[in-house]
Amino acid sequence: MTDRLAYLNFVQGSLASSLAAKLESARAPLKALRDAETGLQPRRNIRAGIQTQIGRFEHESQKANDRRVADLREQLRKAELEDQQQEREIELLKRKAIRESEQIKWDAIREVGYCLPIIYRIWPN
């Protein structure tokens, strides 16, 4: 009886360890996404700053600011064009990372679900 209990505890612990390792690996695609977005964040901040300046100058609505607003809109357009490819890549990476992460996670959970009935057959009713 104690041998079965020891074996059951061993197998259950091994399965829990395997699940933990696989769930940890499921985080890797999301970490890559985070790193990619962190690399793009300074460019996003620049664009947001330009938009804030445009809003401030438009709110003041002075004729002298018309030229400045036009220059800022041009800068914003150029910055958006420069970053457009990276933004598209981030969106694709986001979809891919979520899909991969969820696939790894559910595969690990499915494996546990498959193994648990086998483990509990060892234990007498």
pLDDT at residue number 43:
95
pLDDT at residue number 64:
66
Domain interval for residue 92: 2-122
pLDDT at residue number 1:
67
pLDDT at residue number 59:
80
| CATH code of the domain containing 79 | 1.20.1270.60
Q: Report the alpha-carbon distance of residue 64 to residue 91 in Å, rounded.
A: 39
pLDDT at residue number 119:
67
pLDDT at residue number 29:
95
H and E: helices and strands count for the chain: 3, 0
Would you say the pTM of this structure is higher than 0.85? no
- Number of structural domains (the chain) is 1
Q: What is the mean pLDDT of each run of 10 residues along the chain (125 residues)?
A: 79 88 94 95 95 87 78 94 95 95 93 77 61
